């Protein structure tokens, strides 16, 4: 089990996820991760999720962060974008069980959240579960190793 104080976390959102992202940043700052970086967007004005998702994914892929959080209206577009990077395994989560399974079985390193379909408390619960759950390995490791092209 990981201690959030030891984690380096990257976060990004488009305009639809901006408000949820702000709340998540406040929540995470209270937990004091070793590093927390916001890759934008920095306002609720219309923006394109790839413009923030690619830089975040690249830095995660380069090993500068342990985990990423990607947020857009449905969670789909931003998840598809970060998953274009070979070292990223993003999982779209809208309930706690999915966040846990994303880590246990898929070794996900990015949680994608659908801002228009979850509330703040649900997001916090999923993040807590995602960050504290370790990859189970075993039979799942073989499968995860086959994900990258």
Q: Interior CA angle at 73 toward 130 and 125, to 5°?
A: 25
Q: Tell me: the pLDDT tens digits for 83-108?
A: 999 999 999 999 999 999 999 999 99
In CATH, what number is assigned to the domain containing residue 127? Answer: 3.40.1400.10
3-state secondary structure of 23: helix
At residue 107, the pLDDT reads 96
Residue 149 lies in a domain: no
Residue 88 lies in a domain: yes
Query: From CA 8, how far away is CA 130, in angstroms rounded?
Result: 14
Whether the Cβ atoms of residue 41 and residue 15 lie closer than 8 Å to each other: yes
Check whether 50 has a pLDDT greater than 90: yes
Q: Which residues does the annotation mark as catalytic?
A: 105
Strand partners, 10: 37, 68
Residue 139 lies in a domain: yes
Q: Tell me: the pLDDT tens digits for 115-134?
A: 999 999 999 999 999 999 99
Query: From CA 55, how far away is CA 84, in angstroms rounded?
Result: 12
pTM of the model: 0.96
Check whether 43 has a pLDDT greater than 80: yes
Tokens standing for 58? 């690249």
Check whether 72 has a pLDDT greater than 60: yes
Count of domains for the chain? 1
Q: Which domain holds residue 103?
A: 4-143
* Mean pLDDT over the full length of the chain: 95
């Amino acid at each position: 089990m990981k201690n959030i104080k030891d984690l380096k976390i990257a976060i990004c959102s488009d305009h639809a996820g901006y408000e949820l992202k702000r709340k998540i940043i406040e929540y995470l700052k209270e937990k004091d991760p070793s590093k927390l970086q916001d890759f934008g967007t920095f306002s609720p004005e219309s923006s394109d999720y790839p413009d923030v998702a690619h830089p975040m994914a690249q830095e995660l892929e380069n090993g500068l962060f342990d985990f990423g959080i990607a947020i857009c209206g449905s969670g789909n577009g931003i998840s598809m974008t970060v998953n274009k990077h070979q070292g990223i395994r993003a999982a779209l989560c809208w309930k706690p069980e999915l966040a846990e399974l994303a880590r246990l079985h898929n070794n996900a390193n990015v949680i994608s959240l659908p801002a228009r379909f979850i509330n703040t408390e649900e997001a916090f619960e999923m993040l807590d579960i995602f960050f504290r759950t370790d990859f189970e390995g075993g039979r799942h490791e073989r499968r995860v190793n086959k994900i990258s092209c």
